[in-house]
């Protein structure tokens, strides 16, 4: 158990809908990262927050947004969902904001868009 | 050219075999190199990390870095069925915010 929690574990929804994925980092970790993992794309970095502020953006679509709250939990919002958004979404946390730093991954949320 | 390249496999070996997993990278400024292991339906977990060139050993696992060739390897000795997982190389963009992950190699160790 990494200490990072993600909810829900599974999410099934329809195209065009909006969903929110939630992540609670390990106690003491200030950085939260979001990743998307699909079979053909591998682990793709989406976005990083550090202590409430956005620090880095990766391949995140405009339909996706995230935030980190004062209690350090984070939410990833996915809107206007498409079939291609079906994937595993991982949250990871670390102590620091700069690389290199060990990232601890949560168990993931499996999103299925029908 | 991708910053980090990794053969996705799958790689199937008999129990007890020596396994070699590899990645190549393009940026000669990279200094830290990590290996994550991901079991099916789980999140990745850090297995080992190394700094600069050379070898690092941890039990049955050895991480090797050849900066001149921009080539990193993970060796697993006496492989076990419990080693069956996906292994991802990961390279932190030192001084930046991003860690770049390889595509991951799926390993199957047959009993």
CA distances from A100 to A94, B2, B38, B93, B106 (A): 10, 20, 20, 7, 25
CA distances from B63 to B58, B89, B108, B110 (A): 8, 10, 19, 23
Burial code of A7-22, b = ≥16 C-beta within 10 A, e = fewer?
eeeebebeeeeebebe
Residues of chain A positioned with their CB less than 8 A from the CB of B100: 45
For residue A33, what is the nearest residue in chain B, using CA coordinates? B98
Shortest distance, CA A42 to any CA of chain B (angstroms): 5
Q: Report residue B11's pLDDT band, with 50, 70 and 90 as the boundaries.
A: very high
A25-61, pLDDT tens digit by residue? Answer: 999 999 999 999 987 778 899 999 999 999 989 889 9
B41-51, pLDDT tens digit by residue? Answer: 899 999 998 88
pLDDT for res B8: 85
pLDDT score of B96 more than 70: no
pLDDT for res A29: 94
Task: Using CB atoms, pick whichever of B43, B49, B95 lies closest to residue A2.
Answer: B43
Residues of chain A positioned with their CB less than 8 A from the CB of B41: 107-108
pLDDT score of A14 more than 90: yes
Between B7 and B83, residue with greater pLDDT: B83
Task: Using CB atoms, pick whichever of A45, A98, A102 lies closest to residue B95.
Answer: A98
d(CA A77, CA A13): 14
Inter-chain contact B98–A48, Cβ cutoff 8 Å? Answer: yes
Task: Using CB atoms, pick whichever of A2, A55, A104 lies closest to residue B97.
Answer: A55
d(CA B2, CA B71): 14
A47-96, pLDDT tens digit by residue? Answer: 999 999 999 898 899 999 999 999 999 999 999 999 999 999 999 999 87
Residues of chain B positioned with their CB less than 8 A from the CB of A104: 45-46
- Give the range among A25-29, A57-61, B65-69, B97-101 with minimum mean pLDDT: B97-101
Supply φ then ψ for residue A105, to 5 degrees. Answer: -95, 145
pLDDT score of B94 more than 80: no
B93: nearest Cα among A24, A55, A36: A55
d(CA A56, CA A40): 23
pLDDT for res A99: 66
| Three-class secondary structure of residue A83 per DSSP | helix
For residue A90, what is the nearest residue in chain B, using CA coordinates? B43
Write out the E strands in chain A.
5-7, 10-13, 19-24, 31-38, 42-50, 53-57, 64-68, 74-78, 87-94, 104-105, 109-113
Question: Hey, is the C-beta of A114 within 8 angstroms of any chain B C-beta?
Answer: no
Q: List residues in chain B touching A: CB distance below 8 A.
A: 8, 32, 34, 41-46, 49, 88, 92-104
For residue A91, what is the nearest residue in chain B, using CA coordinates? B43
- Give the range among A15-24, A78-87, B21-30 with minimum mean pLDDT: B21-30
């Amino acid at each position: 158990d990494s200490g990072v929690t993600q909810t829900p574990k599974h999410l099934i929804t329809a195209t065009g809908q909006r969903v929110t994925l939630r992540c609670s980092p390990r106690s003491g970790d200030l950085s939260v990262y979001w990743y998307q993992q699909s079979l053909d794309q591998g682990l793709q970095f989406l976005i990083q927050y550090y202590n409430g502020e956005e620090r880095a953006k990766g391949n995140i679509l405009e339909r996706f947004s995230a935030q980190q709250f004062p209690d350090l939990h984070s939410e990833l919002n996915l809107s206007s969902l498409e079939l291609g958004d079906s994937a595993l979404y991982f949250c990871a946390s670390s102590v620091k904001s700069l690389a290199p730093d060990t990232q601890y991954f949560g168990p993931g949320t499996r999103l299925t868009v029908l | 050219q991708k910053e980090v390249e990794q053969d996705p496999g799958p790689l199937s070996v008999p129990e007890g075999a020596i396994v070699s997993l590899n990645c190549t990278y393009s940026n000669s400024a990279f200094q830290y190199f990590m290996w994550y292991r991901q079991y099916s339906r789980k999140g990745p977990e850090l297995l080992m990390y190394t700094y600069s060139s050379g070898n690092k050993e941890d039990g049955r696992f050895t991480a090797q870095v050849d900066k001149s060739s921009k080539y990193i390897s993970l060796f697993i000795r006496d492989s076990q069925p419990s080693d069956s997982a996906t292994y991802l190389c990961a390279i932190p963009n030192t001084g930046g915010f991003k860690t770049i992950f390889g595509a991951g190699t799926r390993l199957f160790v047959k009993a």
